Amino acid sequence: MSSTQNGQWYPPEWPERIRALAAGELTPVAPRRAATVMLLRDTPRGPAVHMLRRRASMAFAGGAYAYPGGSVDPRDSRAVDCAGPTGAEWARRFGTDEDTARSLVCAAVRETFEESGVLLAGPDERTVVADTTGEDWETDRAALVAHDLSFADFLDYRGLVLRGDLLGAWARWITPEFEQRRYDTWFFVAALPEGQRTRNASTEADRTVWVRPEEAASGYDSGELLMMPPTIATLRQLAPHATAADALAAAGARDLTPVIARARLEGGEIVLSWPGHDEFTKRIGTA
Does residue 47 lie within any of the structural domains?
yes
Average pLDDT over residues 139-166: 95
Query: What local confidence, expressed as pLDDT, does residue 64 receive?
Result: 85
Query: Per-residue confidence at 62, pLDDT binned at 50, 70, 90?
Result: low
Residue 12 has a pLDDT of 78
**DSSP 8-state code for residue 150:** -
Residue 7 confidence (pLDDT): 62
Q: Is 9 inside any structural domain?
A: no
Give the pLDDT confidence score for residue 11 in this predicted structure: 76
The reply to whether 3 falls in a domain is no
CATH code of the domain in which 64 resides: 3.90.79.10
Instruction: Count other Cβ atoms within 10 Å, centred on residue 179.
Output: 20
Number of domains into which the chain is organized: 1
Q: What angle do CA 29, 3, 49 make, to 5 degrees?
A: 85
The dihedral through the CA atoms of 34, 66, 68, 243 has a sign that is negative
| pLDDT for position 206 | 77
Work out the average pLDDT over 256-284. Answer: 86
pLDDT category at 59 given cuts 50, 70, 90 is low
From residue 1, alpha-carbon distances to 5, 10, 11, 57 in Å are 14, 10, 8, 10
Contact partners, residue 131, CB within 8 Å, separation at least 6: 195, 196
Q: Is 67 left (phi over 0), alpha (psi -120 to 50) or beta?
A: beta
Residue 213: the pLDDT is 97
**Res. 202: pLDDT tops 80:** no
pLDDT at 208: 87
Tell me the percentage of the chain whose pLDDT exceeds 90: 63
Residue 285 included in any domain = no
Alpha-carbon separation of residue 174 from 171, 187, 225, 255 (angstroms): 10, 11, 22, 14
- pLDDT tens across 24-56, in order? 898 989 999 999 999 999 999 999 999 998 765
Higher confidence at residue 251 or residue 12? 251
Q: Rounded to two decimals, what is the model's pTM?
A: 0.91
pLDDT, average across residues 84-99: 94
DSSP 212: -
Is pLDDT of 203 > 80?
A: no
Q: What is the mean pLDDT of the chain?
A: 89
What does the alpha-carbon distance between residue 84 and residue 121 come to, in Å, rounded to a whole number?
12
Residue 126 is part of which domain span? 29-256
At 102, is the pLDDT very low, low, confident or very high (cuts 50, 70, 90)?
very high
Query: Do the domain assignments include residue 19?
Result: no
pLDDT at 105: 97
Q: How confident is the model at residue 174 (pLDDT cuts 50, 70, 90)?
A: very high
Whether 2 has a pLDDT exceeding 50, the answer reads no
Give the model's pLDDT for residue 204. 67
Evaluate whether 144 touches 113 at the Cβ level (below 8 Å): yes
